[in-house]
């Protein structure tokens, strides 16, 4: 039976570690500060933002939830970022995406001081990560590494294949795996004979954005699968493709009219040695890693 790598347990461990660091910092008169900026009300962002703000409060951070109006301009947002950049009590600035069309997201994200960029999206942090310097790494890929390490999955010397090359998941995940001494291959939509490559993987990271894309024949028996994908499916046809005969999922589908599936077909997990489920895997790590990044930012900024 493959082992389930439970995101909730690992996220709780990370938050516990963060809470201890916060206590140690408090003894030195430091309170990490996180500002979460949420423009307007995108329903899909609502729950994420609430969780981020709530978790940071629970962990003893100074937590600010800033909510500019839907009509805010890029200039007004830049002024807000400049204020937050200058504030001594704020260590991390997070701008929740997506932003309304009139706001230039790239200009805005680039305006965040790199040392306060707890999402790890700033080009300076991407470059520092690449160069092997101290960097704030993006939360989701950093969570992938935490899952592997805390589950005792050996990374050094392993063949790691990352499917997906986005700037926020695929590329940084590959770079972090490389820093952990994996032999890394990055695949994308132009990769030829993808299955032949993924079958070489001891560690297979799927960050594609296509429901159930990785099928059992693409997985080396016993491999560790990290499924980053989060896809919502809401038709009976799609549901049956992935979960036919699964009573638990059937009940969830009947109740909500939709369920989540990762980028890996559930049947492919059966071939693996260990895997992260969806939901309940990588997704749960992202907020924990955001908290860890904020504490890290607080320490780095003060030379601690």
Q: Take residue 102 and report the two structure tokens written for it.
A: 């009139």
Considering the rule CB under 6 A, would residue 168 count as an interface residue with ligand NDP? Answer: yes
Contacting residues for 211 by C-beta, under 8 A, at least 6 apart: 229, 231, 233, 238, 242, 261, 262, 263
Nearest distance, CB of residue 26 and ligand NDP, angstroms? 29
230 marked as binding residue: yes
List 38, 52, 116, 227, catalytic entry: 52
Whether 6 is catalytic is: no
Residue 236 known to bind ligand: no
Tell me the sheet residues that pair with 231: 261
Active-site residue, selected from the candidate residues 119, 202, 227, 263: 119
151 labeled binding residue: no
User: Which candidate, 20, 23, 41, places its Cα nearest to that of 31?
Assistant: 23
Neighbouring residues of 287: CB distance < 8 A, sequence distance ≥ 6: 11, 48, 51, 52, 55, 139
Strands 33-37 and 62-66: parallel
Q: Of all residues in this chain, which one has the CB nearest to ligand NDP in the complex?
A: 166
Q: Does the annotation mark 16 as catalytic? A: no
- Is 102 among the catalytic positions? no
User: Looking at beta carbons only, is 32 or 229 nearer to ligand NDP?
Assistant: 229
Q: What mask, x for binding ligand NDP by CB under 6 A, covers residues 178 to 207?
A: ---------xxxxx--x------------x
Query: Quick one: which of 114, 120, 170, 172 contacts ligand NDP (CB under 6 A)?
Result: 170
How far apart, in whole angstroms, are the C-alpha atoms of residue 6 and residue 133?
A: 30
* Minimum CB–partner distance for residue 143 and ligand NDP (Å): 7
């Amino acid at each position: 039976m493959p082992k389930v790598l439970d995101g909730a347990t690992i996220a709780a461990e990370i938050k516990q570690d963060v809470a201890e660091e916060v206590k140690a910092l408090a003894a030195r008169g430091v309170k990490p500060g996180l500002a979460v900026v949420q423009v307007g009300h995108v329903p899909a962002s609502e729950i994420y933002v609430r969780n981020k703000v709530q978790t940071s409060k629970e962990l003893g951070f100074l937590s600010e939830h800033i909510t500019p109006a839907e009509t805010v301009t890029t200039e007004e947002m830049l002024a807000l970022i400049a204020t937050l950049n200058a504030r001594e009590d704020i260590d991390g600035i997070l701008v929740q995406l997506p932003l309304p069309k009139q706001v230039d997201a790239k200009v805005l994200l680039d305006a965040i001081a790199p040392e306060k960029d707890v999402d790890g999206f700033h080009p300076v942090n991407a470059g520092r990560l690449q160069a092997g310097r101290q960097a704030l790494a993006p939360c989701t890929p950093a969570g992938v590494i935490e899952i592997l390490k805390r589950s005792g999955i050996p990374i050094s010397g392993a063949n790691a294949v990352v499917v997906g090359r986005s700037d926020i998941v695929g590329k940084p995940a590959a770079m972090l795996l490389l820093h952990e001494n994996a032999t890394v291959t990055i695949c994308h939509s132009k990769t030829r004979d993808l299955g032949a490559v993924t079958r070489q993987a001891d560690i297979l990271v799927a960050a594609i954005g296509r429901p159930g894309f990785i099928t059992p024949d693409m997985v080396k028996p016993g491999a560790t699968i990290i499924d980053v994908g989060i896809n919502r499916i809401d038709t009976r046809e799609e549901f049956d493709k992935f979960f036919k005969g699964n009573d638990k999922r059937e009940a969830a589908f009947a109740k909500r009219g939709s369920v989540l599936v990762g980028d890996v077909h559930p049947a492919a997990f059966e071939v693996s040695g260990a895997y992260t489920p969806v939901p309940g895997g990588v997704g749960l790590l992202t907020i924990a890693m955001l908290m860890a990044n904020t504490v890290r930012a607080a320490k780095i900024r003060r030379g601690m």
